[in-house]
Amino acid sequence: METVNATYSYITNFEVMQILQHIKGTKKKWGMHNLATVTYEALQYLEESPCKTQTRESIKNYLCDLAIYRLMPHEQLQMVNDPPTSALHTQLLIDDNKVPLTDEENEAIIQLTHKHFSNTTTEPVQANQQAPT
Amino acid sequence: MFVLAELKDNVRIAPDHFNLKLVDAVRDEIDRKLANKVLLNVGLCIAMKEIVSLKDSIILPGDGASHTEVLFRYIVFRPMVGTVMTGKIRNCSREGVNVTLGFFDDILIPHAALQHPSRFDEAEQAWVWEYPLDDGGKHDLFMDVGEPIKFRVSREIFEETSPIGPPKAEGQQSQNASSSNAAAAATAAQEVKTPYKIIGAINESGLGVLSWWDQQGKEEEQDVEDGEDNTEYENDDDGEGACEE
């Protein structure tokens, strides 16, 4: 085994969840219990996290709307993985050595979270949730 | 939290898998080898994302299997240092708080990185945040097993776990057979190494057991000022500020 690039790119929790759901849906094969275990456990975690209600579309729109706040890529990634729902939460995801967001910006980001992801938190039945179990 | 790692490997496909398509056989073989394993300085391997390229397959004298050099991308759990994640408390010890994500257990929040001031409750076997009140008293906030907890990754430790020399336990066993069992058990316990460990911290406002911040968030939505000039070292002040509201 040779590591060409340990971090070729970052991947959102949502994408990981989709791939794992796909793996879970395929037929079990001999000698793959490690894959089955990690798939099952990681899915359990991800399906309890905010990403279970996300869709490709909602993430795209969310990021478009976030663009005006000039966030760093890793901050955006974190916001997608764990959309902030309180001011305290937003600040945690922002780098300490950066000019902090103003109250208005903070509030606006929280509103964006609600706008793009909250409709799905209230009605838990969603397309991507009905993957085979 | 997750990254794609680009890896290269020589995959051996046994003859009884020749009925499969090469891509599928290779994918299965790699999943069998990597899934749920820690690669040194890469992270915890989860599942195959995609195969980038396959070189020509070769056969070696005396072996019916085919060998193919494969370049592929694998989903790997490796949170960046600084990432905020949510897990569940697995248990507490004098050392600190152990957190689990379900698929990954080796997360430790050392006692020095807990909210200040915290104490360890021997009877409950739990850490307690002694939240200072305005009147000089304190309010005990317990960190119970199973509670969801938000923490920041502060360090990652990779350790080589593959055997380097002959196991020492055996040598001891043969030498003094009487105490061998105890000795072997002790050495075995010492030698259990964790290949990948994450060190976390919760000494910032907003981090820690989720319920700590729930009510406050609602009460002082507008009081963001406190959160803003919060640094890792001044969380006391922040805590008090939050409390006043």
Find the domain containing B99 and state its range. 84-158+196-244
pLDDT of residue A102: 81
Residues B73 and B88 in one domain: no
> How confident is the model over B167-222, as pLDDT tens digits?
665 555 555 555 555 555 555 555 678 899 999 999 988 898 988 887 654 444 43
The total number of structural domains that make up chain B: 2
The complex's ipTM works out to: 0.83
Q: Do A78 and B83 touch (CB under 8 A)?
A: yes
Contact residues, chain A, for B21 at CB < 8 Å: none
Residues B6 and B103 in one domain: no
Residues B13 and B64 in one domain: yes
Cβ-Cβ contacts under 8 Å between A and B: the total is 150
Residues B124 and B229 in one domain: yes
As a whole-number percent, the residues of chain A with pLDDT over 70 amount to 84
Classify residue B140: in a domain, yes or no.
yes
- The span from the CA of B180 to the CA of B190, in Å, is 15
> How confident is the model over A97-130, as pLDDT tens digits?
677 778 888 888 888 888 888 754 444 433 444 4
The CA-based angle B245-A82-B104, given to 5 degrees, is: 115
Q: Do A23 and B47 touch (CB under 8 A)?
A: yes
Contact residues, chain A, for B28 at CB < 8 Å: 29, 32
- The span from the CA of B213 to the CA of B28, in Å, is 45
Could you tell me the strand order of the sheet in which B118-121 lies?
A: B118-121, B126-132, B138-143
pLDDT of residue A126: 39
- Averaged pLDDT of chain B: 82
Does residue B103 register a pLDDT over 90? yes
pLDDT of residue A119: 56
- The span from the CA of B72 to the CA of A129, in Å, is 28
User: Hey, of A22, A45, A97, which one would you mutate to test binding to chain B, going by the most B CBs within 10 A of its CB?
Assistant: A45
Determine contact, residues A10/B2, Cβ cutoff 8 Å: yes
As a whole-number percent, the residues of chain B with pLDDT over 70 amount to 77
Residues B134 and B228 in one domain: yes
Q: Do A91 and B224 touch (CB under 8 A)?
A: yes
B13 at the A interface (CB within 8 A)? no
> How confident is the model over B211-230, as pLDDT tens digits?
888 765 444 443 434 444 44
Q: Do B222 and A103 touch (CB under 8 A)?
A: yes
A81 at the B interface (CB within 8 A)? yes
Q: What is the SS3 assignment for B39?
A: strand
Does residue B18 register a pLDDT over 50? yes
Domain ranges of chain A: 13-51+125-129, 55-121
CA dihedral A21, B100, B81, A53 (to 10 degrees): 40
pLDDT of residue B237: 45
Does residue B26 register a pLDDT over 70? yes
Q: Taking Cα atoms as reference points, which of B173, B168, B175 lies closest to residue B190?
A: B168
Alpha helices in chain B (DSSP H): 22-34, 168-175, 180-191, 210-219, 224-228, 235-244
